[in-house]
Amino acid sequence: MQFKVLRGDTILKILLATAALFIIGLVVALAAELFLGSASSIHSFGPSFLIGTQWRSSQNVFGALPFIYGTLLTSAIAIVIGFPISLGVAIFISEKLKGHQTFGYGLGIIVDLLAAVPSVIYGLWGVFILIPLLRDYVETPLHNSLGFIPLFSGNPFGYDFFTSGVLLAIMVIPTMSAVTRDVLSVVPNSQREAMYSLGATDWEVTQKSVLPYARSGIFGGFILGLGRAFGETMAVTMVIGNIPNITTNLFSAGATLSSLIANNFGESTGIYQSAIIEIGLILFFVALLVNGLARFMLWRMTSGARGRA
Amino acid sequence: MGVMTQSDLPASISLWRKILNKLMTILVIVAVVLAIIPLLLILGDVFIRGAPAISIGFLTKLPTAVNVHGGGIANAIVGTFTMVGIASLIAIPIGIGAGIFFSEWSSSRLSMVSGFMNDVLTGFPSIVLGLFVFVILVATTKQFSAFAGGVALSFVMLPIIARTTSESLKLVPNTLREASMALGIPRWKTVLRIVIGTGKNGLLTGILLAVARATGETAPILLTASTSVYFAKSIFAPTASLTVLIYNYGTSASQNWQTQAWGAALVLILIMLAVNLLVKLTVGRNLTGKRLEL
Amino acid sequence: MKSTYVIIAAIVVIAIIIGGVFGYIALSNSSNTSPTPAPTTAPTVAPGSTATPTPTPTSHPSTSASPSPTPTPTATPAPTPIPTLAPAVLNGAGGTLIAPLMSVWQPAYQQAMSQITVNYNPVGSGAGITQFTQQVVDFGESDAPMTAAQYNGLPSGTTAITIPISASAVVPAYNLKLANGTVMTNGLNFTGAVLANIFLGSITTWNDPAIQALQSPSVAAQLPSTTITTVHRSDGSGTMFAFVNFLYRSSSTWATQVGVPSTSPSWPTAPAQIAAPKNAGVAGAISSKDGAIGPLEIAYILENTGQTSLYYGTVANAAGNYILANVSNIGAALQAGASSGLPAGNASWTTVSMIDNTYTNTTATTMYPIVTLTYALVYQAQTNYVQGAALVNFMSWIVNSGQNLGTGLGYVPLPANIVAVDNASLKLVTYNGTPILH
């Protein structure tokens, strides 16, 4: 009996660890591939590649900063808009609709379906519906009333950071809210009951009991959403305007790391291709950095709250 | 149900707390409205533009020349199912396995590193994943194939499944594990029981999200499976897919093709709707009631 | 517990799949991809080496392949049909411009040759050349000729043959509301110099005197003070190559500021500027913004007539006439542009541009000046007879029988002199050192 128990545990652990190792292997292989592909670019341009602000492929001038900036800015807009909304949707479905499961299911399924819409459809929709809508009813009023703030100073354009951020927000909401909703619904009811019995209101239960309990899971949804925002290619390419730009003005055309790859990888050769692969490598490191940072913040939060690693 | 709600409470709550409570309820509803409007707009747009293209012939015929009406997308539907199927076969077992490992051995170093890598992987543009598979499977064999497309899609699905699996398992109270262990049930049985029992809903969400995401991906397939206007003769031949068809037709000049692109998008969404409903109604529902009793 | 078996089954599936992946890689590395074995020599595996000696590329200057100056009818049948063709699957990839026409060719060709199936993936011109270079497709396709760097990137010992297979034109498309509130329809007049200044950012509003001067007085009076938003492709494109080449030839400022034409030129910074992917992206950007202008394939406009708010202008040719592009005046430009000779199929086509030959041509008074060829790329030395024979047959069919199938879609049939060059080029394709077509 003792022997059998040990064996079952060991087999399971080995199998599961193999799956975990597979992921590490995959990422390492990807990184190796990117390093190999960008070797000649790294060698020729060195660190100036990272801080260069000019990208002129026909003259072999390559600077990645505008694309890094564009990726961070659009993802930030997407998260600022998308995260609270996703959290709200998740709280609504899992906390407010406790007694109306059919409605919650319907809502959940609609939100889930949006994850399956191909990003090119989001892009087409963005070009024909979202851009005119935002330009005429959001950007122009903001510019007219708050134009003195650098963020809104530019002439509203439609093809810009702001539109890309909003479109990304719409695209990450299904991912973030689905995960968050699911995580909230698994919070044991005993957690809620304890709070209610202390006389807490609905919001206090959510705020003080449900959300802290599900914090790590909400973070998981956040990371998945952020990941989608970083990596999203086609839809952003169609609405961002694709002009390398570093400006605080949200109403200005820009470019992201992945839009550059989508636009120009196919036709690139030689050192140009190497430079684009280095853009992929930068994207890899940006993802690494942001994830590391988010992890660190989570660790700080949880170690304060629960005292368990 | 044994769940207490606010209505059971005595009316001894201060005004401020009541106002805050109402305010947050309103905010949450505003969030839902803000999320739902664009979602309904997109779905509505796809339905309105796609519906005119849908017919029996559209679903059962092969594509025709650009100037010949009446072409179908049968080969693309089959191709998408094939590739997502291959991707699921690879990604679901590995993803769930890794996800269980992340949650049940969460303090091990391997778990931390792999979990971290997993998050990095989700942020990877799928076009880079497609490129990677192109280099290892297509450039070496000189053959575009549904198999290569499936492998590329599996890399898209893998991190989503692993992350959602581990997050939903982490929420299972530790007392459950401890109780099970205390009864002398071996850890592997405990883990499996938790996975199959309590965590199943989260697993399903993860798989559905991943399948949805893979079904809607274009870039990895474009580089690995290529496309075709015929039925693929094997999974080692260039294969059409709905997304590549939507991408090619949707960005083309032809009105006929653009209508078909929207029709294909609608078909894609309807397939996802069917899968979603089927899975949720058969499996998901039973679980909601049972969750606490486990 | 039942669940145990589920997990065990899942693990077994993982193992099978991982094994399958490696097995597949191992097996496919040692087997040829073609369905039927080559008749004589063993199939070659290594991409870099060809089994057959390659004729020296530049041994056929324009003497053997140069077109006869007297045009002959284009409808001549394929030179020498290959007697019997074994079943084959041809895979191609390349430009999106040709994709609609390719969809017409595929079923038409299969009617003629039922044993041959053609797949085509419109990944874009540059990606088409890349996939051709990596030898993952039987033929590549591009709207711009291969560059010197791309020729250098070919596997050693191989030679690419360039075959023009169709032609089109690039038009200045715009979306403009006039001062009286009506929409400007087709026919705003442009010259190369004015277009260059618009895209350089030195002409910034629609009522700029330089634009007004080109119009009839009634149109000039109605031009609004709207800011000009310039739109161009964000990805590399043969359309852009043709357009910037025209600007390069028309404006010395453009030539010094932007430099040699390329498929992804370094666009100057205009005050209001958008780049969008593919023709659809450019068209979408133009039609969603009042005052926008950008270069588009004529096929894109013709296919969308009456469906969008897109209209296009005339462009002045070398003779000074404002020409609104159509199939006949594009055909006139091709005739004029190709009459000065094209290189042999296996020579370098890097510098070939119809525009180089047309922008100074004042004798063809009715031609539309911004025209472009689109090219198929095949390897001169084929390593598999069945594939090679099928490929040559398909290309020959396209060039000789497929040209008129695209006229309704805005594709211009190749003039006889280019067809002659193509037929000569196809005879250069060899298997085992001997030409496949005799």
Mutation test of the interface with chain C: which of B92, B169, B248, choosing the one with the most C Cβ atoms within 10 A?
A: B248
Q: Which chains have 3 or more CB–CB distances shorter than 8 Å to chain C?
A: A, B
CA distance A134 to A251: 11
Considering only the beta carbons, identify the residue of B46, B201, B213 that sits closest to A115: B213
Instruction: Tell me the two tokens of residue C380.
Output: 């001169």
Q: Is the CB of B144 less than 8 angstroms away from the CB of C136?
A: yes
Helix ranges (DSSP H) in chain B: 15-50, 56-60, 74-104, 109-122, 126-133, 139-141, 146-170, 174-182, 187-196, 200-215, 219-224, 242-250, 255-279, 285-290
Task: Give the residue from C275, A34, A125 showing the smallest Cα distance to B129.
Answer: A34
Q: pLDDT tens-digit profile of C84-101? A: 788 999 999 998 888 889
Would an 8 Å CB–CB cutoff place A121 in contact with chain B?
A: yes
Indicate whether A169 and A292 sit together in one domain: yes
The sign of the torsion formed by the CA atoms of C88, C94, C95, C96 equals positive
CA distance C387 to C341: 31
Considering only the beta carbons, identify the residue of B140, B142, B253 that sits closest to C299: B253
Q: What is the pLDDT of residue B43?
A: 86
Enter the pTM of the model. 0.80
Reply yes or no on whether the pLDDT at C4 is more than 60.
no
Indicate whether A2 and A116 sit together in one domain: no
- Residues in a beta bridge with C374: C166
B38 lies in which domain range? 11-53
Q: pLDDT tens-digit profile of C267-301? A: 888 778 888 888 878 888 888 888 999 999 887 77
Indicate whether A62 and A172 sit together in one domain: yes
Along chain B (294 residues), what's the average pLDDT of each consecutive run of 10 residues? 49 76 88 87 89 90 84 92 95 94 88 89 82 87 92 94 86 83 84 77 82 87 87 88 88 81 90 78 50 32
End-to-end Cα separation, chain B, in angstroms: 15
**Nearest chain C CA: its distance from B211 CA (Å):** 17
- Residue B219 CB-half CA count within 13 A: 27
Q: pLDDT tens-digit profile of A265-296? A: 877 777 888 898 899 899 888 888 877 877 77
Q: What is the pLDDT of residue C224?
A: 95
Q: Which residues contact C414 (CB under 8 A, 6 or more apart)?
A: C74, C164, C165, C166, C167, C334, C399, C403, C422
Nearest CA in chain B to A285: B120
In this predicted model, which residue has the larger pLDDT, C5 or C251? C251
Indicate whether B40 and B131 sit together in one domain: no
Q: Is the CB of C409 less than 8 angstroms away from the CB of B237?
A: no
Would an 8 Å CB–CB cutoff place A132 in contact with chain B?
A: no
Indicate whether A68 and A32 sit together in one domain: no
Q: Is the CB of C276 less than 8 angstroms away from the CB of A241?
A: yes
- Residues of A in Cβ contact (< 8 Å) with C281: 127, 237-238
Q: What is the pLDDT of residue B273?
A: 81
SS3 category, C373: strand
Q: Is the CB of A159 less than 8 angstroms away from the CB of C274?
A: yes
Q: What is the pLDDT of residue A256?
A: 92
Indicate whether B38 and B125 sit together in one domain: no
* Strand locations in chain A (E): 55-56, 61-62
* Strand locations in C82-209 (E): 88-94, 116-121, 139-142, 160-175, 189-190
- Residues of B in Cβ contact (< 8 Å) with A24: 110, 113-114, 117
Indicate whether B28 and B70 sit together in one domain: no
Q: Which chains have 3 or more CB–CB distances shorter than 8 Å to chain A?
A: B, C
- Residues of A in Cβ contact (< 8 Å) with C234: 237, 242, 259, 263
With tokens 């260059």, the residue in question is: C196
Q: Is the CB of B45 less than 8 angstroms away from the CB of A129?
A: yes
Interface predicted TM-score of the whole assembly (ipTM), two decimals = 0.82
Please give the full DSSP string across A266-292, using - where no structure is assigned.
Answer: TT--HHHHHHHHHHHHHHHHHHHHHHH
Q: Is the CB of C103 less than 8 angstroms away from the CB of B64?
A: yes
Nearest CA in chain B to A93: B32
Nearest CA in chain B to C26: B141
The DSSP secondary-structure symbol of C89 reads: E
Is residue B1 a part of any domain in this protein?
no
Nearest CA in chain B to A199: B9
CA distance C79 to C66: 17
The sign of the torsion formed by the CA atoms of B105, B106, B107, B109 equals positive
User: Structurally, how many domains does chain A consist of?
Assistant: 2
- Residues in a beta bridge with A166: none
Q: What is the pLDDT of residue A165?
A: 95
Indicate whether A61 and A13 sit together in one domain: no
**Nearest chain B CA: its distance from C139 CA (Å):** 13
Q: Which residues contact A227 (CB under 8 A, 6 or more apart)?
A: A287, B119, B121, B122, B123, B124, B159
β-pairing verdict for C322-323 and C229-233: unpaired
Q: Cα-Cα-Cα-Cα dihedral of C194, C198, C200, C203, to 10°?
A: 90
Nearest CA in chain B to C280: B251
Indicate whether A22 and A122 sit together in one domain: no
User: Structurally, how many domains does chain B consist of?
Assistant: 2
Crossing angle (nearest 10°) for helices B200-215 and A101-113: 30
Q: What is the pLDDT of residue C58?
A: 36
Indicate whether A265 and A172 sit together in one domain: yes
Please give the full DSSP string across C300-345, using - where no structure is assigned.
Answer: HHHHTTTTSS-EE-EEE-TTS-EE---HHHHHHHHHHHHTT----T
Burial of residue B52 (CB within 10 Å: 0-12, 13-18, 19+) is exposed
Task: Give the residue from C370, C382, C371 showing the smallest Cα distance to C418.
Answer: C371
Number of other residues whose CB lies within 10 A of the CB of residue A229 = 28
- φ, ψ (nearest 5 deg) of residue C187: 115, 10
Indicate whether B37 and B129 sit together in one domain: no
C259: left (phi > 0), else alpha (psi -120 to 50), else beta?
left
Q: pLDDT tens-digit profile of A181-206? A: 878 877 888 888 888 888 888 888 88
- Residues of A in Cβ contact (< 8 Å) with B167: 179, 183, 216-217, 220-221
CA distance C341 to C418: 9
Indicate whether A196 and A227 sit together in one domain: yes
CA distance C251 to C202: 13
CA distance A240 to C36: 48
Indicate whether A25 and A52 sit together in one domain: no
CA distance C333 to C355: 9
Indicate whether A62 and A186 sit together in one domain: yes
Indicate whether A242 and A276 sit together in one domain: yes
Under a CB-based contact definition with an 8 Å cutoff, are residues A65 and A53 in contact? yes
Indicate whether B33 and B114 sit together in one domain: no
- Percent over 70 (pLDDT), chain C: 79
CA distance C391 to C378: 8
Would an 8 Å CB–CB cutoff place A263 in contact with chain B?
A: no
Indicate whether B29 and B82 sit together in one domain: no
Q: Which residues contact A231 (CB under 8 A, 6 or more apart)?
A: A258, A283, A287, B122, B123, B124, B125, B126
- Residues in a beta bridge with C371: C169
Nearest CA in chain B to C4: B192
Would an 8 Å CB–CB cutoff place A230 in contact with chain B?
A: yes
Is residue A42 a part of any domain in this protein?
no
A246 lies in which domain range? 47-308
Would an 8 Å CB–CB cutoff place C44 in contact with chain B?
A: no
Indicate whether B185 and B48 sit together in one domain: no
Residue type for C379, please?
A: Y
Q: Is the CB of A124 less than 8 angstroms away from the CB of C285?
A: no
Q: Is the CB of C106 less than 8 angstroms away from the CB of B65?
A: yes
- Residues of C in Cβ contact (< 8 Å) with A265: 127
Indicate whether B150 and B288 sit together in one domain: yes
Q: Is the CB of A158 less than 8 angstroms away from the CB of C289?
A: yes
Mutation test of the interface with chain C: which of A13, A61, A159, A247, choosing the one with the most C Cβ atoms within 10 A?
A: A159
Under a CB-based contact definition with an 8 Å cutoff, are residues B160 and B209 in contact? yes
Q: pLDDT tens-digit profile of C5-53? A: 544 555 455 555 555 544 444 444 433 333 333 333 333 333 333 333 3
Burial of residue C38 (CB within 10 Å: 0-12, 13-18, 19+) is buried
What CATH number is attached to the domain comprising A141? Answer: 1.10.3720.10
Indicate whether A28 and A175 sit together in one domain: no
Q: Which residues contact C408 (CB under 8 A, 6 or more apart)?
A: B67
- Residues of B in Cβ contact (< 8 Å) with A194: none
- Residue C392 CB-half CA count within 13 A: 31
- Residue B185 CB-half CA count within 13 A: 15
Considering only the beta carbons, identify the residue of C117, C281, C408 that sits closest to B67: C408
CA distance C81 to A123: 47
C-alpha radius of gyration, chain C, whole number: 25
Mutation test of the interface with chain C: which of B64, B229, B235, B236, choosing the one with the most C Cβ atoms within 10 A?
A: B229
Instruction: Tell me the two tokens of residue B94.
Output: 């590995």
Task: Give the residue from A88, A16, A62, A95 showing the smallest Cα distance to A274.
Answer: A62
Q: Is the CB of C275 less than 8 angstroms away from the CB of A267?
A: no
Indicate whether B132 and B16 sit together in one domain: no
Is residue B248 a part of any domain in this protein?
yes
Would an 8 Å CB–CB cutoff place A198 in contact with chain B?
A: no
Q: pLDDT tens-digit profile of C49-65? A: 333 333 333 333 333 33
Reply yes or no on whether the pLDDT at C74 is more than 80.
no
Q: Using 50, 70 and 90 to split pLDDT, how confident is the model at C429?
A: very high
Considering only the beta carbons, identify the residue of C1, C17, C122 that sits closest to B89: C17
Indicate whether B24 and B78 sit together in one domain: no
Q: Is the CB of B230 less than 8 angstroms away from the CB of C117?
A: yes
- Residues of C in Cβ contact (< 8 Å) with A156: none
Q: pLDDT tens-digit profile of C301-322? A: 777 666 667 899 999 999 999 9
Q: What is the pLDDT along chain A (309 residues), one digit of tens a residue?
A: 455 555 778 888 889 999 999 999 999 999 999 999 899 999 999 888 998 888 887 778 899 999 999 999 999 999 999 999 999 988 888 877 766 667 777 777 777 777 778 887 888 788 878 988 898 888 888 888 888 888 887 778 788 999 999 999 999 998 888 888 878 877 888 888 888 888 888 888 888 888 888 888 788 788 878 888 888 888 898 899 888 889 888 888 899 998 888 888 877 777 888 898 899 899 888 888 877 877 777 676 665 444 333
With tokens 């093809």, the residue in question is: A159
Q: What is the pLDDT of residue B96?
A: 92
Indicate whether B26 and B160 sit together in one domain: no
Q: Which residues contact B286 (CB under 8 A, 6 or more apart)?
A: none
Under a CB-based contact definition with an 8 Å cutoff, are residues B220 and B127 in contact? yes
Mutation test of the interface with chain C: which of B132, B142, B236, choosing the one with the most C Cβ atoms within 10 A?
A: B142
Is residue B5 a part of any domain in this protein?
no
Task: Give the residue from C94, C171, C96 showing the smallest Cα distance to C132.
Answer: C94
- Residues of B in Cβ contact (< 8 Å) with C233: none
What are the C-alpha distances in Å from C243 to residues C130, C136, C204, C263?
23, 30, 19, 10
Q: Which domains does chain C have, with CATH numbers?
A: 88-168+339-354+372-435 (3.40.190.10), 169-337 (3.40.190.10)
Q: Using 50, 70 and 90 to split pLDDT, how confident is the model at C403?
A: very high
Q: Is the CB of C33 less than 8 angstroms away from the CB of B89?
A: no
Is residue A4 a part of any domain in this protein?
yes
**Nearest chain B CA: its distance from A37 CA (Å):** 11
Q: Is the CB of A23 less than 8 angstroms away from the CB of B155?
A: no
Interface of C with B in 364-403 (CB under 8 A): none
Is residue A96 a part of any domain in this protein?
yes
